[in-house]
Amino acid sequence: MAAVRRAWEDAGREGRPRIVTDRYCSLGPDAEATADAYIRHYYGDEFFEAARADTLTDAKRLSRELERIGLAGCDDLLLFPCCGDLEQIALLTEALES
């Protein structure tokens, strides 16, 4: 984020850049297996470890990551569920409210 801000200033832009990042998430009793299957299918074996490292699979880790990237100066975080089950939205809402 510091590099983005420096580049913004070096370009003579006013204000500050809006910094957005994303994370995959999977919550619930099968969160780990669901995340593993999705990330492996999407990225393949070659990039699995790198992509899986940032995948959020429990409420505590989600909370810590929100705090961490907020403190780093990130403006927005996009969360991408690892499956299409609408229950993920309810689980995500519950995790964010706790």
Instruction: Give the pLDDT confidence of 2-45 residue by residue, as tens digits.
Output: 899 999 999 999 999 999 999 999 999 999 999 999 999 999 99
Rounded CA-CA distance 48/5 in Å is: 30
Report whether pLDDT(60) > 90: yes
Residues 55-82: what's their mean pLDDT?
Answer: 95
**Distances in Å between the alpha carbon of 27 and those of 3, 13, 18, 47, 90?**
32, 40, 28, 22, 10
Residues 46-53: what's their mean pLDDT?
Answer: 97
Number of other residues whose CB lies within 10 A of the CB of residue 23: 16
Report whether pLDDT(1) > 90: no
Residue 30, pLDDT score? 96
Q: What pTM value is reported for the model?
A: 0.87
Rounded CA-CA distance 24/81 in Å is: 6
The identity of residue 18, as a single letter, is: R
Residue 2, pLDDT score? 86
Percent with pLDDT over 90 in the chain: 94
Residue 47, pLDDT score? 97
Residue 98, pLDDT score? 82
| CB 38 within 8 Å of CB 96 | no
Number of other residues whose CB lies within 10 A of the CB of residue 92: 19
